[in-house]
Structure 1
Amino acid sequence: MLMKLTAVTLDCADPMALATFYHRATGIPLADRSDDEFAGLRGPDGGLFLGFQRVDDYRPPTWPTQTVPQQLHLDFDVDDLDAATARLVDWGATLAPSQPEADRWRVLLDPAGHPFCLTVPRPPS
Structure 2
Amino acid sequence: MSLRLKLAAITLDCADPEALAAFYQRAMGLEAHPESNGDFAGLTREDGLFIGFQRVDGYEAPRWPGQGRPQQVHLDFTADDLDGAEAALLEWGATKPAHQPGGERWRVLLDPAGHPFCLTRS
* TM-score (ref. length: structure 1): 0.92
CA contact (8 A) 2:36 2:42 kept: no
Q: Which residue of 1 aligns with 2:87?
A: 86
Secondary structure, counterpart of 1:44 in structure 2: coil
Q: Which residue of 2 aligns with 1:67?
A: 68
CA offsets per residue over residues 65-124 of structure 1, 9 Å max, x none? 011110111000101111111100000000121111231101000000000000013xxx
Q: How does 1:1-125 map to 2 (within 5 A)?
A: 1-45=3-47, 47-121=48-122
Structure 1: which 5+ runs fail to align?
none
1:33 positional shift: 3.9
Letter matched to residue 24 of structure 1: R
1:35: Cα distance to partner?
2.6
Structure 1's 42 and 67: CA in aligned 2 closer, same or farther, altered over 3 A?
A: same
Alpha-carbon distance, 1:34 to partner:
3.8
Code of the aligned partner of 2:26 = R
Distance (whole Å) between structure 1 residues aligned to residue 77 and residue 71 of structure 2 = 17
Identity of paired residues, percent? Answer: 62
Aligned residues: 120
- Please state whether the residue corresponding to 1:95 is helix, strand or coil: coil
Report the residue type matching 1:101 in the other structure. Answer: G
SS at 1:39 equivalent: strand
Structure 2 runs not aligned, ≥5 long: none
- Three-state SS of the structure 2 residue aligned to 1:98 is coil
For residues 49-79 of structure 1, the C-alpha deviation after alignment (integer angstroms, 9 at most, x for no partner) is: 1100000000000010011110111000101
The letter of the residue matching 1:91 is W
SS of residue matched to 1:106:
strand
Q: What's the Cα RMSD here?
A: 1.0
For the residues of structure 1 that align with 2:35 and 2:18, how far apart are their CA atoms? 8
